[in-house]
C-alpha cells in the first residue's frame, strides 16, 4: 500500500495497532530507519512487535527525545516487546544502490529477522518489498507507538555504533554529530579527507573524494518515490 497523506499535528498513540488487532491481526510490527541523511556509516532499520500486555509509556519519534530518555526506552522496548530486530546496510551498498533503496533493504532485512513473524506492517513513510499487508504513514514515528518504538531502537543502536567508530576515527567527531552533515563534520572532511566508511555519493563527501559516486540529489529520491 502507498503511504497516505497526513496533515496537521500528530499525537503518538497505539490506536492503529488496536484497530488492527480488532480485525484479527496478532503480530503487528512497526518499522523505521535512521541515518538516512548521514554522511558516514550505515543506514539502520528496526522492526518491533509491541506487546499489548506490557506497554511502554512515553513512546515518540526518537528525534524528539533526549538521548538519555531514548536509552531508557530502548531498553524497555527490548525487554517488553514480543519481538524486535535490527538490520544495517553499509555505506558501500548505499553508494551502490542509493539511499532510498538501501533504506528499504534495511527495513526488509529487519522485518525478515522477526520471530514470531509479523502479519501486518506499519511503516514510516515508505513501502517494503515483502508479501505482507502493510500501511505506510507519513510522520509515522510521531503517530504510531510501534513505529516510534522501532525508531528508538534503531537510533540507540546506530548512535552506539558511531561512538565505537569515533574511537577508530577520532578526528571526525562522530560521537557528537553521529555522522551527519554538521559544520564540525564538514570541516573534518576538508582537513582529513574521507574514510572508507563515508558515503561517496553524498556531498560534501563526493567533493573531497578521489572516487566520488554520482547520484544527483540523493535525499530527493524519497520525494519522487510516491510518498505523500
Residue 54: φ, ψ to 5°:
-135, 70
Q: What CATH homologous superfamily does 15-158 map to?
A: Ribonuclease H-like superfamily/Ribonuclease H (3.30.420.10)
The span from the CA of 45 to the CA of 36, in Å, is 10
The number of beta carbons lying within 10 Å of the beta carbon of residue 100 is 22
Pairing of strands 120-124, 134-137: parallel
**From first to last of its 228 residues, what are the pLDDT tens digits of the chain?**
434 434 446 789 999 999 999 999 999 999 999 999 999 999 999 999 999 999 999 999 899 999 999 999 999 999 999 999 999 999 999 999 999 999 999 999 999 999 999 999 999 988 999 999 999 999 999 999 999 999 999 999 999 999 999 999 999 999 999 999 999 999 999 999 999 999 999 988 988 887 767 655 665 666 655 443
Domain ranges of the chain: 15-158, 165-221
What does DSSP say about strands 120-124 and 83-89: parallel, antiparallel, or unpaired? unpaired
Residues constituting the chain: 228
Q: The whole model's pTM is what?
A: 0.88
Strand order in the sheet with 134-137: 83-89, 43-49, 28-34, 120-124, 134-137
Amino acid at each position: 500500500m502507498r503511504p497516505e497523506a497526513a496533515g496537521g499535528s500528530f499525537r503518538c498513540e497505539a490506536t492503529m495497532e488496536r484497530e488492527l488487532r480488532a480485525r484479527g491481526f496478532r503480530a503487528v510490527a512497526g518499522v523505521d530507519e535512521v541515518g538516512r541523511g548521514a554522511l558516514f556509516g550505515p543506514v539502520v532499520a528496526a522492526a518491533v512487535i509491541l506487546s499489548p500486555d506490557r506497554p511502554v509509556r512515553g513512546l515518540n519519534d526518537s528525534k524528539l527525545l533526549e538521548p538519555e530518555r531514548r536509552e531508557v526506552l530502548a531498553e524497555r522496548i527490548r525487554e517488553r516487546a514480543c519481538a524486535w530486530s535490527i538490520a544495517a546496510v553499509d555505506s558501500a551498498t548505499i553508494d551502490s544502490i542509493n539511499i532510498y533503496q538501501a533504506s528499504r533493504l534495511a527495513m526488509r532485512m529487519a522485518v525478515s529477522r522477526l520471530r514470531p513473524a509479523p502479519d501486518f506492517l506499519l511503516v514510516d513513510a515508505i513501502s517494503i518489498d515483502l508479501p505482507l499487508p502493510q500501511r505506510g504513514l507519513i510522520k509515522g514515528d510521531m503517530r504510531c507507538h510501534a513505529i516510534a518504538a522501532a525508531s528508538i531502537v534503531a537510533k540507540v543502536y546506530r548512535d552506539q555504533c558511531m561512538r565505537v567508530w569515533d574511537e577508530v576515527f577520532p578526528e571526525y567527531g562522530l560521537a557528537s554529530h553521529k555522522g551527519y552533515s554538521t559544520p564540525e563534520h564538514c570541516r573534518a572532511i576538508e582537513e582529513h579527507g574521507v574514510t572508507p566508511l563515508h558515503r561517496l555519493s553524498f556531498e560534501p563527501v563526493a567533493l573531497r573524494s578521489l572516487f566520488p559516486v554520482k547520484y544527483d540529489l540523493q535525499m530527493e529520491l524519497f520525494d519522487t518515490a510516491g510518498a505523500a
